[in-house]
Structure 1
Amino acid sequence: MALCKIFPFAFILLSCSCYLISGQRFDYPTANLSTTWINSVSAPHSIDYTDGSRIRAILLRGTFGPRYACGFYCNGNCESYLFAIFIVQTNSASQITSPAIGFPQVVWSANRNNPVKINSTLQLTAEGDLVLRDADGTLAWSTNTAGKSVAGLSLTDEGNLALFDSKNATVWQSFDHPTDALVPGQKLVPGMKLTASVSRTNWTAGGLFALSAIDNGLVAFVESNPPQKYFEASVGGSNTSGGSNYVKYLNGSLTLFTHSADTTELILISITPASSAQYMKLESNGHLKVYEWTSRGWREVDDLLTGFRGECNYPTVCGRYGICTMGQCSCPTSSSSRTYFRPIDVRRPSLGCSEVTKLTCQNTKKHSPLEVEDVDYFAFKAGISDTDLNTCKRACLEKCSCKAAFFRSGLNSSRTRGDCYLPTEIFSIMNNEKDRTRYDSVAFIKVQV
């Protein structure tokens, strides 16, 4: 009889215990001061993937599905590591899984110009500084937040790594320091930019391309000297005073928020609405691509800038001096038998063209303009307006730093008057599709004879 009375009570306790266990958090999204993590082979939450990448997670936000985590990341021989935020696959117990198709996607990194080795450390100091040191103790990166009343570290649901104070106010956040990617909910204010990596295997921020927020939109450019713009999405009439405008990655668009009397939202670029985890990345070739998790793994769902400008408008599509015609690359040719440019690799024409004889300012009398008909340049900006063809050509020959003269004029204008552009550095040249552009164009590329 006593057993019958006790057993139901025991059943109730067991039921309550199961409920408590199933309701507790299994993720680990925050950390306290005076915490140190070591990038060692015995570190917890370490996963190797079949694509050669490896992660050692420090913080993880959320369960079951693609989720944000941060920690050490490497790919390839794993001699160098990033401290990064990445999207990983998790199960219902917040265990990071390694499906054959679900490799980690890096969306932010702290030290891509200064990777660290095995046994490097990350420390959230008692003073509130988040510090990354290499295995030999060398400082690799820091938030420089010591003495700023930091109370802890958190990885948010949106993938933002933040240091917060005792009132939960943000002291420092990764969203203020973008690298080459954006995630939904992230914004760019004027002065912020994405900088492409050198390549998929070289994370260094030494790539040619950048995407920057401006007061009235976005601009993509080659980081030459001076920079050469290859894309702009902007609107007129926005309030540029106070620097309060920004571009935000929303579900379905990159939207400009302007602040004057009222807040106005203006869609700059439409994006395929997300049905799962999604992010965008400025690639090393200048493309701005959107990737989304699907049942078949990560897939490209948008190539955002190509829809506006076409493939031939990308600055390195055919390499330096290469001419892009409907996606095919060739080198500038002369009407005479002389050759001034040759392919860097005849089997890979997209690598561009090299000068047979290098230009030199030591003997400008040997400079000559090579005329190339019906070509244009992605960054054309009139340096000399309403001029004639010969004046444009002569202006380049008289300026040693000028590499070519590009001339635009109206169709059927006999090129008597037009606009002139004199770049000091040449990337890819493109064929002018006059039926579409509705203007005539010609280039005079400076060569050494």
Structure 2
Amino acid sequence: MAFHLLYLLCFIVLVLLPCSTMAQTSKNISLGSSLTEQNDDNSSWPSPSGEFAFGFRQIEKDGFLLAIWFDKIPEKTIVWSANRDSLVPQGSKVELTSGGRFVLNDAKGSQIWSANSSSTAISYAAMLDTGNFVLANRNSTYLWESFDHPTDTMLPTQSLKQSGKLFARLTVTNYSTGRFMFSLNPNGSLMLYTTNFPQDSANFAYWSVKNTEIGFQVIFNQSGLIYLTSKNGTILDTISGKPLATQDFYQRATLDYDGVLRHYVYPKSSSTSGERWPMAWSTSFFIPPNISLSIVKKVGSGACGFNSLYRIDNTCECPTGYSPIDPNDELKGCKQDFVPQSCNAPADDFDFQEVPNTNFPGLDYEQFQGMAEDQCRQNCLDDCFCAVAISNAAGECYMKGLPFVNGSIDSSIYGTKALVKFRKHNSTSKKKDDSTLIIVGSVLLSSLGILNFILPLITYVVVSRMYSRKAVAVPPNYQGMNLKYFTYEELKEATNEFKEELGRGASATVFRGVLACDEGKCVAVKILDAKQVRESDLEFNAEVRAIGRTNHRNLVQLLGFCNEGQHRILVYEFMSNGTLASFLFGDTRPNWYQRREIALGTARGLLYLHEECSNQIVHCDIKPQNILLNDSFTARISDFGLAKLLRLDQTRTITGIRGTKGYVAPEWFKNLPITAKVDVYSFGILLLEIICCRKKFDEEAEDGDQIILADWAYDCYKHKKLHLLLEKNDEAIEDIKMMEKYVMIAMWCIQENPSLRPTMKKTIQMLEGTVEVSKPPDPSAYRSSILLDPAH
């Protein structure tokens, strides 16, 4: 009998144990529960799976958000917040009261926020695995949920109903309400707006769904698709692109601070469903395609602030003579750093910054037809009200005053040039300085006793400053380029005496460094070889002058330099993901989407060098080793050590052979004029390597026809066997039409005759699909002879 009772007891325990476990994992938050921000790991409530958490996140030194975030990824990306416009200090508390109210109080007990639920029937709260935080009654009916009150982000299974809105954050690090809004209006229209910042009312619609039917809700489904439906459930428009399963990817749709709505994905494992996405947020889809061209209103500050220029790579910049109002917030625009032109004085002190492919639409106070650029420039120079002139290929000239609005730089604005007026000598208040000197002089002359006391002190200060300036004097040739001048000792300390080598070339070695003067920022320090001091000196001068005046998302940024004694050193931003070569040819192959983005980014960087710099730059050594990848795997062109700087009136130059075997264009070996088309050729070879994830030349190839990648690629294209290029690359095979187009573009780029090669502008248009790609001729004859000839 005792045995049977014991058996029955064990059976009951085994049956009840799973029930107990289930109760524990439901993670319901009972009445009376609270969280107090104590800057520790206990100030959050996780979802059952642990993928999301609700609690406090530190944003500033003593400023916290009550937020929801992805909790299993290192970034802890925030997707919702309760108090975005009113951060709370440490010691603040969120509580589900015994009366069913859900409130956030600061450390003094003052209410900052509460869930807008007047129901007294709330029994519990819960952080769900969908990322939705809910307040529910005893029947588990949701009486309030965060999904109904989004901030800047939507998650899978979430919907946005009529009158629903997303508001972008203000900046990358400032989560307060920003200048852009995504709204499903009461009339059913789905739009992106600029707002009447700092108010949150709609100002100007810069994107909308092209559908005449009334939209009822926007749905972000579990397959990762985002679409607009009617009241009866009919899909009116699909907003996002290719579906990706939520069981394999974390996903979010965020209206970013720059006004672009992006669909982001993040793999839950390193090899998700056979697709090799990086373990980071990647953009799967975004709207609008080009925000700088979408915002064409004649009022407001546009994609960037007033007096600023917006680039397609989502960066803002100030023109010459202007600087950011707030260095920490580029969207606040730029301020003028010089005394404006006087209407009663000659214009000799003023000049123009020429910015190709640029426009400031609207706000013209005068227009001219049939006017050449030189005359347009002169008219603006002679007009004291003119701050910028726009000249285009149609002979139109537009005069504009301050502030500039909606400035944008984009290759599609071809033939339009902005002429931004600035003072040659950046005097901000000369008259004020002169008057100050007169006053000071009068005071000193009337007080000889004070003067006798001050003179020795002034002499000491002046001599000390002269000495310190002499010690780190910036050479005149490099002034005015926004570069920091480093001493050799500073860089020696930053690199821990040049211990960690990142790479080595024929004339330079690169080390990793950390700048103590810039909050521990990682940098790449490139030391030119002292044994080649003459050649290194030439390369140094070329790099500093060329790179110091460039600024583009797809170029590695030069931060500073050292020119001290025999030391010639360049300091670049550090690229954490190394070279494209290691990414393409390593053990883990990048996915097809990444490779396409890298190809397009490299092409955009080259277009900038060729057509958007004040002086055209031909790189001369485009190859995977010279394409670096940042944290988000954005392509950055590096190593201008072989670049040849061309003058504006010089489109051809004869020079010595430069570059790397296999990427070098035929004209180098034929003593023909060298133009930007040599970079187009190199890009074509690089594009094939990106497509196929293999090197241009493989001596170990099983089939002799496969040794030279370009020849093999053309044969595969000609015989309609492109799938042979894509071994173990299923995702690219699924997109075979796009892959074929990329191969055709590469074939055009590597034509032996430079005149047959497209410009980088046209190459980008073909890559983006705005220009049709015609059938290319066979480009193989020259290349085979060069690659197989050991003399080269």
**TM superposition score category, shorter chain reference:** 0.5 to 0.7
Matched, 1:181 2:162: no
1:87 paired with 2:58, answer no
Residue number in structure 2 paired with 1:245: 216
Higher Cα Rg: structure 1 or 2? 2
Structure 2: distance between partners of 1:232 and 1:13: 62
Q: 1:198 — aligned with what?
A: 171
After TM superposition, give the deviation of residue 134 of structure 1 in Å. 0.9
Assess if the C-alpha contact under 8 Å between 1:122 and 1:133 holds in 2.
yes
Ranges in structure 1 where 5+ consecutive residues have no aligned partner: 49-54, 90-100, 334-340
Q: Aligned partners of 2:291 and 2:259: how far apart in 1?
A: 12
Q: 1:272 to 1:430 in 2, by over 3 A?
A: farther
Query: Is 1:304 matched with 2:304?
Result: no
Q: Distance between the aligned counterparts of 1:16 and 1:262, measured in 2?
A: 43
- TM-score normalised to the size of structure 2? 0.40
Choose from 76, 92, 96 the match for 1:120: 92
Matched residue type, 1:67: E
Does the Cα contact within 8 Å between 2:219 and 2:228 map onto a contact in 1?
yes
CA apart distance, 1:278 = 1.9
Distance 1:331 1:247 in 2: 37
Name 1:321's counterpart in structure 2: 308
In the TM superposition, what are the counterparts of 1:47-62 in structure 2 within 5 Å?
Answer: 48=41, 56-58=43-45, 60-62=46-48
**Structure 2 CA distance, aligned partners of 1:331 and 1:116?**
34
- CA drift at 1:267: 0.4
Structure 2: which 5+ residue stretches go unaligned? 271-277, 296-301, 371-376, 425-792
Aligned equivalents of 1:129 and 1:6: distance in 2? 48
Counterpart position of 1:257: 229
Does the CA contact (< 8 Å) of 1:373 and 1:443 recur in 2? yes
Separation in structure 2 between the aligned mates of residue 329 and residue 81 of structure 1, nearest angstrom? 28
Q: Relative to structure 2, which stretch is displaced further, 307-316 or 103-112?
A: 307-316
Paired positions, count:
390
SS at match of 2:63: coil
Task: Please give the alpha-carbon distance, in whole angstroms, between the structure 2 residues aligned to 1:181 and 1:210.
Answer: 11
Q: Tell whether the 8 Å contact from 1:331 to 1:343 is kept in structure 2 after alignment.
A: yes
- Whether 2:411 is the aligned partner of 1:430: answer no
Change (3 A) 1:355 1:81: closer
The amino acid that maps onto 1:73 is: R
Native 8 Å contact 1:68 1:157 kept in 2: yes
Aligned partners of 1:238, 1:23: CA distance in 2, in Å? 46
Which residue of 2 is the match for residue 67 of structure 1?
51
Question: Aligned ranges for residues 1-40 of structure 1 at < 5 Å?
Answer: 4-32=3-31, 35-39=32-36
Whether contact under 8 Å (1:193, 1:213) holds in the other structure is no
Deviation at 1:364? Answer: 8.8
Which of 1 and 2 has higher RCO (CA within 8 Å, sep 6+)? Answer: 1
1:12 Cα deviation from its structure 2 partner? 2.8
TM-score by length of 1: 0.65
Question: 2-side partners of 1:72 and 1:373: how far apart?
Answer: 46
Deviations, residues 118-161 of structure 1 (Å, cap 9, x unaligned): 33222334554322111111121123434665454344443222
TM alignment of 1:120-139, pairs within 5 A: 120-139=92-111
Match of 1:266 in 2: 237
SS in 1 for 2:147: helix
Write the letter of the residue equivalent to 1:142: S
CA distance change for structure 1 residues 292 and 229 in 2, over 3 Å: closer, same or farther? farther
Match of 2:336 among 344, 350, 355: 355
Q: CA deviation at 1:357?
A: 3.4
Structure 1 counterpart SS, 2:289: helix
- 1:181 Cα deviation after fit: 1.9
| SS of aligned partner of 2:408 | strand
Separation in 2, partners of 1:237, 1:332: 42
Give per-residue Cα distances to partners, 1:258-297, cap 9 Å, x unaligned: 34x7733310232551423322333334454414243359
Query: Which has more helix, going by share of residues?
Result: 2
Q: Which has the higher strand share?
A: 1
Call closer, same or farther: CA 1:85–1:4 in 2, change over 3 Å: same
Pick aligned residue for 1:236 from 200, 211, 214: 211
